[in-house]
Structure 1
Amino acid sequence: MFLGFLTVLALFCSHCKKPEVPAELVVSALDVTAQAEDDSTEVTIRSNEVWTATINDMTPWIEIGRTRGEAGSTQLRLKFSSNGTGAPRYGIVTITSRNGQARRIKITQIGNLYPTYNTSPQAPDATGMSSTAVQLAAKMHMGINFGNTMESPVEGEWQNSKLTQSYVKFVKQLGFNTVRIPCNWNWTHLSDPDKAKIDPAWLNRVKEVVGWCVDNDMYVMLNTHGDNGWLENNVNAEKQESINAKLKALWEQIATTMRDFDEHLIFAGTNEPAVENAEQMSILNSYHQTFIKAVRATGGRNSYRVLVVQGPSTDPSKTFTLMNTLPIDEIPNKLMVEVHDYTPATFTILTGGDATWGKMFYYWGKGNHSTIEPERNATYGEEDVIDSEFQKMKEKFVDKGIPVLLGEYAAWRRNAINNSDFLPKDLAMHNKSVNDWTYYVTKQAKANGILPFYWEIGFMLDRANNVVKDQPMLDALMTGSK
């Protein structure tokens, strides 16, 4: 009887199978871009079986840190020797798991289209660089742009005034402890365009202005600005290689020149990169990655400097939708994100007449709609939209420990002083609308943990004489920032 039971049990269990475990092989990065010089990166491999890594015999410039790994999560270091060919080159690292899965890591190493300007790298120096991005953002209370000045073809020609040390002190006395310096490098300040070599005199001039600010205990964000659109209008696959090469060359020079400043100076890689979709966002991330690597490679204090990357078109809504990953930075907690806001543009910056894309608004905000000229009342982009945009930035970045900078925002008054050809019939209500917009955007930015930088181009301040031209505007900024 007992033997019969065992026989039946054996027959029954012969049909039993162990539950199948789904095959798993995940590689953290399947597309890797390497710099032309000696470079390296790490990818994470997660598998539920033993795996192997192989490279093609035709790519001796790729070195893998290990050829096999056990089940679980493992770091694989990839090293790339210097590319002296002047052209990009490509390779494949194949990861094969014993569970039957395989993945291919595509390697693109850019060519040296320009000379290497990182000729004197230093050992990392953390002196005066201890703040994380969050800690540094907390020290930046209210920001202002030195707009239309150092990004013009010739410094000050759009303002009829160059920056002075007395102006820097004047701005600090008004209550701004942080400045953004939009800067032209590629447009008119290359002494050798074929080699992307920045005029040393211009580098020293920018360094002088940064020094005035830092010596006055002000924080500075220095960027590569519009520069006639060489980067921001070319976020595309066709120009990706050449843009990355030039961006690297420029930032090697800028970072080396500014390397000795402490954490009062932060770098921003671009300005307003025009991006509309996920494909372009991926390309923009490659620009951000090039910027970060170029700065970090110069060493010294740049090894720990806080760096700023821009959202797609610096538009809050596009940034919320498209910016789902940040570039890799080997130094943790040192990245910030930048957006701009001119919502609604038909109220803030459309001053030269109605356009095909919108009709000018003169009146904005709750209680500010005109009964004299109702056709110019804002019909969209009021407080609810501002609230929504900033809440998205808080949710996506600020709440996760990534500070957000509102790098530009402003609304122009339509009046004779600002040379406007279109004057509101209800001027008092228009001026109140501008004041209220400025106050509200500043206040809501701060309420959502976003640091505001007002876009000042001479309408509020007289730079030549260090005089306030628009006190209500300044009052709106200072009140909103508290």
Structure 2
Amino acid sequence: MRIKKLKLLIATAMAMLMTGNMTAAIPTEPVTAQTDAAKKLYSYFVEQYGQKTISSVMADVNWNNTIAGKVYKLTGKYPAMNCYDFIHIYVPNQGSNGWINYSDITPVTEWHNAGGIVQLMWHFNVPLTETTEVKADGSGVTCTPSETTFKASNALASGTWENKWFYEQMDKVIAVVLKLQEAGIAATWRPFHEAAGNATLKSGASWGKSWFWWGYDGADTFKKLWIAMYDYFQQKGVQNLIWIWTTQNYNGDSSSYNQDTDWYPGDQYCDMVARDLYGYDADKNLQEFTEIQTAYPNKMVVLGECGKGDSGEQGKMSDCWTKGAKWGHFMVWYQSGQGSTDTMCSDTWWKDAMSSSNVITRDQLPNLDPSKVEFESATQAVKNMGVGWNLGNTLEAYRQTETDMTKAAYWGQQDVTSETCWGQYVTKPELLKMFKDAGYGAIRVPVTWFNHTDIDGNIDAAWMKRVHEVVDYVISQGMYCIINVHHDTGADGDSFKSWIKADATSYTNNKTRYENIWNQIATEFKDYGEKLLFEGYNEMLDSYNSWNYASSNTSSGYSAAEALKSYNAINNYAQSFVNVVRATGGNNAARNLIVNTYAASHGYGTWSTHLAEVLTKMKKPSDENSHLIFEVHTYPNIENLTSAKTEIDNMISGLNTNIVERLGCPVIIGEWGTSNVDKGVGKTDYDVRRSDMLEFVDYFIKQTKATGIGTFYWMGLSDGLSRTFPAFTQADLAQKMLQAWYGSDYNPTLPTKDSYSDATISCTVNYTDQYGEFNLVQGINAADYQYLRLELGSAPAANSLQFKIYGDTDTDKVEAITNKNKNLQLAGLGNITRITLQLLSSAPSSAKINKVYLVKKDGSKEIAEPSVFWGCTISDVEVVTGIQNVTYKPADNDAAIYNLSGQRVTSPTRGIYIRNGKKVIIK
């Protein structure tokens, strides 16, 4: 707002009406703001942009909250923001003679502490001449170019009096801004406003000039001034500002004025673009908003100033919003009474704005102080998760060649290709979208770290980047995501040794490394919102590999003393985890954190009196915010379904008594399934007792939901190549889970592999070991097929590749591959466990697979699902299909038969069909 004379020459004619659609290209990071407070404030602006407009008022070019108080007295609500001007920063002896003492930031901190957002601007006054004395009464300065010999171009020239003044005054402002920064206050910053003034007038006139000295020497000089200020603030350590540049647009009249885009400093120098409007009705607001948004599509567009003008009242915010002028925020100029115009909006205008559902007032702001993050409670988070699933055998997969953790070779044994070393494919965002679309609300992403760190626990940057990508796949779908430290714990075997043990010595030796890993993870994600949760460790066992409860596997039998040491170690690890995450600040101050019981055991069973110790010996980590969740795992045997249901009921009862009631924390079952979930293709409960499995899943989900326990199913539902399509491998099981949660009428979208009947897959197999094997198909009955078709990128060298067939007999069969294309005849091979592509040569090599599929007895094709077996990795995976996904629809229990495209068949011929949710073969 110009201070000494009327500045606004507002045209009343508009050329055309334009639409006000919001852009989707707003950067997620501010150009310079790096403090936690500034990043959080910027994120809030981005979040609200296009949803609501944030209210603000000018503090009568003073350092107080008086005008905001008047708005509160009138409407019962404070504006969300209050704007403070550095207009009198030049006055000598700050605070004397009734002038503002800018070093006293109390008015600003009071506003901030009351929950308000701080705005800053600067009417940058300069001396009238080089020799003018700037007096303690405030005289001797101006902003108006006609009243001063101060030249903007000289302000950038070293040795000039203008340059000296320019930097002296910036130093004064910077000192105050840094004081605010130290106090944890971030602010929007609008310097050098309205630079173009009337300078873009198409035909010359005496008033076709800039209004302020910073614009008087033209666009190029102005941009240099802006960049000089920006760089100088950066140099001095200012990192708490969100920069706003003010456009003049067409000065409201594109027939008389050009756009002032050549005055724009550049995307890298500002976060928002503002426009100052006085007396503009809703239609004119829309035109201005749309023109500016079109010119600067990747910036938030805001109403930098508004109020009454010569043409009357400013358009009501409710009308502006309805028209489509969805300003990011508005700032009403104070009651100055300049010229003939009182710029303060009327009481009616204010009452409309502050009661509008599209306007945010101070009482509606979230807590934007990063040191006082307000996340949903742990209990509410668990309730909101809905049905969860584990993205298993993926980021937690590992292989070890060195098992001695005291050696450097134990650490960092793999690169990012570890993701596929257990047979899964590289995770794609489409998989997580499929789960979201189906109705799942949370994904647990197990992650193993030791194979991607050095001996001190410093995480490989490429691995952290990959974990970050997968987390983003989940979070971008609006689902909850849990990441953890997974197979760094677990039982030791001949080929694997975990480094985290529920053991006092382990804790002492590994505490620094463990905390270093969590410090890096927490720092990486500290700005993420409440839907990202951290889980401190997975299934941590004692040094004896004791499952179920500590000391159960000692050679001399259970020892209460040894068990207590293990439980103390678990509690110590849990406390270290909480401490280090909280210390990273940001949103981690209130993030919901998960700690597991010993071995993630659930504590129920009748075969030992020590089982419940995993719950009763568990302590609640000290945590100021108490955003804590406890986790257990369960895989009951369902051969006797009645007994399995009783076990579920008793398990839930024990968790409620020993965790929920005793420790005051909610519980999730981070992994669950049945006891033979890893039995193998064709041998799990899902395969051999499907109806019991479905009934068990229904009961499990309903009982846990009723008692407020969250659940994450382990691994099934979508597995292998189906994750790449993506498709569900157990669609009926997924449907049963979702209907148990949402109700029997819930009809989820569940694409299956059969939705991609014409799909082809290509990939590259990278062999790392002689005799390494790559799965081509698994779990088929050869009687259903003619042959397996393999098409390679080139003919293999002699004696380098062969088919290896695992079947019913003890003797595995092999068949050499000598040509580029090969049909493996399947007649007489019976039930086949797997067919692999095996490397015979000792030198590492690769094989390009262009296509691999099965040909059924009727000549139709069935896509194979190749995957890593051992001694190789997979890359360059592509699945191509021209068939649209079809939704899995379970047949009614009426013996109706459906083909694999979901079409009902009255007279089926030979082939594979679906009846009552089960595969049937018509011969």
Alpha-carbon offset, residue 323 of structure 1: 3.3
Written as runs of structure 1 = structure 2, the 5 A alignment for 1:203-222 is: 203-222=464-483
In 2, distance between residues paired with 1:202 and 1:268?
A: 18
Q: 1:385 aligns with which of 633, 639, 647?
A: 647
Amino acid paired to 1:334: H
Q: Structure 1 412/339 Cα, relative in aligned 2: closer, same or farther at 3 Å?
A: closer
Amino acid paired to 2:621: I
- 1:193-237 Cα offsets, whole Å, 9 max, x none, are 222111011111111111221121111111000136466762112
In 1, distance between residues paired with 2:584 and 2:465?
A: 18
- 1:12-55 Cα offsets, whole Å, 9 max, x none, are xxxxxxxxxxxxxxxxxxxxxxxxxxxxxxxxxxxxxxxxxxxx
Q: 1:470 aligns with which of 730, 751, 755?
A: 730
- What secondary structure, in the 3-state scheme, does the structure 2 residue paired with 1:227 have? coil
Q: 1:256 aligns with which of 523, 548, 552?
A: 523
8 Å contact kept, 2:717–2:728: no
Aligned to 1:436: 695
Q: Which runs of 4+ in 1 moved over 6 A?
A: 412-416
Q: 1:132 aligns with which of 377, 387, 411?
A: 377
- 1:66-111 Cα offsets, whole Å, 9 max, x none, are xxxxxxxxxxxxxxxxxxxxxxxxxxxxxxxxxxxxxxxxxxxxxx
- 1:102-161 Cα offsets, whole Å, 9 max, x none, are xxxxxxxxxxxxxxxxxxxx9971677421111222211111100111101201332431
- What secondary structure, in the 3-state scheme, does the structure 1 residue paired with 2:526 have? coil
- What secondary structure, in the 3-state scheme, does the structure 2 residue paired with 1:467 have? coil
Q: Structure 1 156/338 Cα, relative in aligned 2: closer, same or farther at 3 Å?
A: same
Q: Structure 1 167/127 Cα, relative in aligned 2: closer, same or farther at 3 Å?
A: farther
In 2, distance between residues paired with 1:309 and 1:390?
A: 18
Q: Structure 1 458/474 Cα, relative in aligned 2: closer, same or farther at 3 Å?
A: closer
Q: Structure 1 391/460 Cα, relative in aligned 2: closer, same or farther at 3 Å?
A: farther
Alpha-carbon offset, residue 396 of structure 1: 2.4
8 Å contact kept, 1:438–1:477: yes
In 2, distance between residues paired with 1:451 and 1:331?
A: 23
Q: 1:365 aligns with which of 622, 641, 654?
A: 641
Aligned to 2:449: 185
Alpha-carbon offset, residue 170 of structure 1: 0.7
- 1:240-260 Cα offsets, whole Å, 9 max, x none, are 212222210110111111111
- What secondary structure, in the 3-state scheme, does the structure 2 residue paired with 1:198 have? coil
Q: Structure 1 205/415 Cα, relative in aligned 2: closer, same or farther at 3 Å?
A: closer
In 1, distance between residues paired with 2:646 and 2:696?
A: 12
Alpha-carbon offset, residue 365 of structure 1: 1.0
Amino acid paired to 2:522: A
In 2, distance between residues paired with 1:307 and 1:146?
A: 19
8 Å contact kept, 2:630–2:667: yes
In 1, distance between residues paired with 2:652 and 2:684?
A: 31
In 2, distance between residues paired with 1:384 and 1:138?
A: 23
In 2, distance between residues paired with 1:261 and 1:143?
A: 20
In 2, distance between residues paired with 1:147 and 1:291?
A: 23
8 Å contact kept, 2:634–2:669: yes
Unmatched runs of 5 consecutive residues or more in structure 1: 1-121, 348-362, 367-380
Alpha-carbon offset, residue 458 of structure 1: 6.1
Residue 665 of structure 2 corresponds to residue 398 of structure 1: no
In 2, distance between residues paired with 1:180 and 1:469?
A: 19
Written as runs of structure 1 = structure 2, the 5 A alignment for 1:267-306 is: 267-274=534-541, 275-276=549-550, 277-306=563-592
Q: Structure 1 414/152 Cα, relative in aligned 2: closer, same or farther at 3 Å?
A: closer
Amino acid paired to 2:421: E
Aligned to 1:155: 419
Aligned to 2:390: 145
Q: Structure 1 311/423 Cα, relative in aligned 2: closer, same or farther at 3 Å?
A: closer
Q: Structure 1 291/125 Cα, relative in aligned 2: closer, same or farther at 3 Å?
A: same
Amino acid paired to 2:467: V
Amino acid paired to 1:411: T
Alpha-carbon offset, residue 411 of structure 1: 2.8
- What secondary structure, in the 3-state scheme, does the structure 1 residue paired with 2:631 have? strand
Q: Structure 1 176/237 Cα, relative in aligned 2: closer, same or farther at 3 Å?
A: same
Amino acid paired to 2:636: T
The two structures have a TM-score, normalised by structure 2, of: 0.33
Q: Structure 1 300/468 Cα, relative in aligned 2: closer, same or farther at 3 Å?
A: same
- 1:404-452 Cα offsets, whole Å, 9 max, x none, are 0100011378999x524x599xx98711122222222222222221101
Aligned to 1:450: 709
8 Å contact kept, 1:438–1:476: yes
In 2, distance between residues paired with 1:158 and 1:458?
A: 17
8 Å contact kept, 1:219–1:265: yes
Amino acid paired to 1:268: E
Q: Structure 1 228/287 Cα, relative in aligned 2: closer, same or farther at 3 Å?
A: closer
In 2, distance between residues paired with 1:340 and 1:226?
A: 15
Alpha-carbon offset, residue 481 of structure 1: 2.4
In 2, distance between residues paired with 1:290 and 1:414?
A: 33
8 Å contact kept, 1:128–1:263: no
In 2, distance between residues paired with 1:429 and 1:144?
A: 22
- What secondary structure, in the 3-state scheme, does the structure 1 residue paired with 2:533 have? strand
8 Å contact kept, 1:232–1:270: no
Amino acid paired to 2:580: A
Amino acid paired to 2:666: P
8 Å contact kept, 2:697–2:737: yes
Amino acid paired to 1:365: L
In 1, distance between residues paired with 2:701 and 2:461?
A: 37
Report the aligned-residue RMSD.
Answer: 2.9
Amino acid paired to 1:305: R
In 1, distance between residues paired with 2:630 and 2:649?
A: 18
In 2, distance between residues paired with 1:398 and 1:451?
A: 13
Alpha-carbon offset, residue 326 of structure 1: 2.5
Amino acid paired to 2:593: L
Q: 1:332 aligns with which of 595, 620, 625?
A: 625
In 2, distance between residues paired with 1:415 and 1:246?
A: 32
Deviates more, 1:131-140 or 1:427-436: 427-436
- What secondary structure, in the 3-state scheme, does the structure 1 residue paired with 2:712 have? strand
Report percent identity of matched pairs.
Answer: 26
In 2, distance between residues paired with 1:415 and 1:286?
A: 32
8 Å contact kept, 1:317–1:389: yes
In 1, distance between residues paired with 2:434 and 2:447?
A: 21
Deviates more, 1:158-167 or 1:177-186: 158-167
8 Å contact kept, 2:459–2:517: yes
Q: Structure 1 160/315 Cα, relative in aligned 2: closer, same or farther at 3 Å?
A: closer
Written as runs of structure 1 = structure 2, the 5 A alignment for 1:25-174 is: 125=370, 129-153=374-398, 154-174=418-438
8 Å contact kept, 1:412–1:434: no
The two structures have a TM-score, normalised by structure 1, of: 0.62
Q: Structure 1 310/474 Cα, relative in aligned 2: closer, same or farther at 3 Å?
A: same
Q: Structure 1 456/267 Cα, relative in aligned 2: closer, same or farther at 3 Å?
A: same
Structure showing greater Rg: 2
In 2, distance between residues paired with 1:428 and 1:464?
A: 22
Aligned to 1:202: 463
Total equivalences in the alignment = 323
Amino acid paired to 1:466: P
